[in-house]
Amino acid sequence: MAVNKLALIRYKTIDDCLKNRFRKWTLEDLIEKVSETLYELEGITTGVSKRTIQADIQLMRSDKLGYNAPIVVKDRRFYSYEDLSYSITKAPINQSDVDKMKEIVGVLKQFNAFNYFDEMSDMIARLENNLYKSTKQTGNNIQLESNRLVKGLECIPPLYQAILSKSALLIEYKSFKAQIANQGIYFPYMLKEYRNRWFLICKAKKRPGILNLALDRIVEFQELPNEPFYAYEGVDFDRYYNDLIGVSKSERDRPHKIILEFANDHAPYVITKPLHESQVVLGKNEKTTMIRIDVVLNYELEREILGFGECVKVLHPRLLIGRIKRRLMETCKLYEEKAVSSTP
């Protein structure tokens, strides 16, 4: 049973009242106290109904949430706990809950990201220890894709903290094309992962626009406490990357209507694992299936298409057709040159 935050506040407030032995609690008293707490914590001014509190008490008495609270009514009016030492905060975790938590810990351990945040890793380790101290671990039944050899992962915790604290950074960065590393002041906004590679989404102090810096190309960095932080206005980073594959995008980029034609024997793989959330099937004939995605034209999109080899053909737009065709011709040249050079 899913329990929302307001319900938990009500249960906790009722529990606090019934633990207080220096006062007798009528139903009206409980309603008043819960209403006061909801106003203090959540700003709710409408209060809470009698039916809601009665339902909460019945739920706390039941086993649905594992409380089994011994709530009794004395003198047909006053609510209290029959067990003077009882509290829902002391309610034992049943075996079903333990089994479910074991599954969750097993899944969390598969996420590389949890290895990067020291505090989170410690918390998971403590949770795992408490859960498995009296049982035998049977191993993980879920294995997620990961690559522990990727460089730059150690940068994630301090960069994450810099984003939270809105701190300017002095970063020494060496791109794949540069012969030497360069230093600059950057304002970090978000960390983004794409295919097990992490990027810092930021703005350079002396350059316009949003940048993405690959963490594996960051030589070193440090916070600049005396440098004012530049907040990037006008961009909703929660939505900024919704219309592209990968991370390469400028503010001027807009999504294009991409139409791809897949061979029918390969189309099910694309249909069951969409290239993008905008994907729709346009039609199907005896040999091919056409799909459409609305994304920004970038390098990652081209790599995705080229990865399907002879199983896909770009039908629209012309600009993308030209790019893919050119890259395929360059690829063919490599094989032709190799064949000529290896001929006796």
- In this structure, the answer to whether residues 36 and 56 fall within a common structural domain is yes
Name the domain boundary from 215, 240, 265: 240
- In this structure, the answer to whether residues 171 and 234 fall within a common structural domain is yes
pTM over 0.75: no
Q: Predicted confidence band at 235 (pLDDT cuts at 50, 70, 90)?
A: confident
Indicate if the pLDDT at residue 210 is higher than 50: yes
Indicate if the pLDDT at residue 104 is higher than 80: no
Helix (H, G, I), strand (E, B) or coil at 83: coil
Lowest mean pLDDT among 71-85, 141-155, 198-212, 280-294: 141-155
Q: What confidence score (pLDDT) does residue 215 get? A: 94
What does the pLDDT look like over 127-151, one tens digit per residue?
555 555 545 555 555 565 666 677 8
Lowest mean pLDDT among 21-35, 251-265, 329-343: 329-343
Read off φ and ψ for residue 147, nearest 5 degrees. -145, 100
User: At 320, which CATH number?
Assistant: 3.30.70
On whether residue 221 sits in a domain, the answer given is yes
Lowest mean pLDDT among 5-9, 147-151, 162-166, 203-207: 147-151
Token pair, residue 106, equals 């097993």
- In this structure, the answer to whether residues 267 and 316 fall within a common structural domain is yes
* Overall average pLDDT of the 16-35 stretch: 92
Q: What CA–CA distance (Å, rounded) separates 205 from 100?
A: 48
Name the domain boundary from 71, 103, 132: 132
Indicate if the pLDDT at residue 112 is higher than 70: no
Helix (H, G, I), strand (E, B) or coil at 139: coil
- Average of per-residue pLDDT values in the chain: 85
User: At 66, which CATH number?
Assistant: 1.10.10
On whether residue 343 sits in a domain, the answer given is no
- The angle subtended at Cα 223 by Cα 217 and Cα 227, nearest 5°, is 120
On whether residue 102 sits in a domain, the answer given is yes
270-288 residues labelled b (16+ CB within 10 A) or e (exposed): beeeebbeebeeeeeeeeb
- In this structure, the answer to whether residues 14 and 84 fall within a common structural domain is yes
- In this structure, the answer to whether residues 43 and 101 fall within a common structural domain is no
On whether residue 22 sits in a domain, the answer given is yes
Q: What confidence score (pLDDT) does residue 327 get? A: 96
- In this structure, the answer to whether residues 167 and 206 fall within a common structural domain is yes
Lowest mean pLDDT among 71-80, 150-159, 224-233: 150-159
On whether residue 59 sits in a domain, the answer given is yes
Indicate if the pLDDT at residue 237 is higher than 70: yes
On whether residue 20 sits in a domain, the answer given is yes
Read off φ and ψ for residue 273, nearest 5 degrees. -130, 85
CA atoms within 13 A on the CB side of 121: 10
Token pair, residue 43, equals 């700003």
Q: Could you tell me what percent of the chain has a pLDDT over 70?
A: 80
Q: What confidence score (pLDDT) does residue 255 get? A: 95
Q: Residue 144's closest CA among 120, 108, 119?
A: 108
Name the domain boundary from 240, 269, 291: 240
The residue with greater pLDDT, 53 or 150, is 53
Q: Predicted confidence band at 120 (pLDDT cuts at 50, 70, 90)?
A: low
Structural domain count, the chain: 4
On whether residue 128 sits in a domain, the answer given is yes
- In this structure, the answer to whether residues 261 and 305 fall within a common structural domain is yes
Q: What CA–CA distance (Å, rounded) separates 231 from 143?
A: 38
Q: What CA–CA distance (Å, rounded) separates 31 from 10?
A: 9
On whether residue 24 sits in a domain, the answer given is yes
User: Which domain does 313 fall in, by range?
Assistant: 256-338
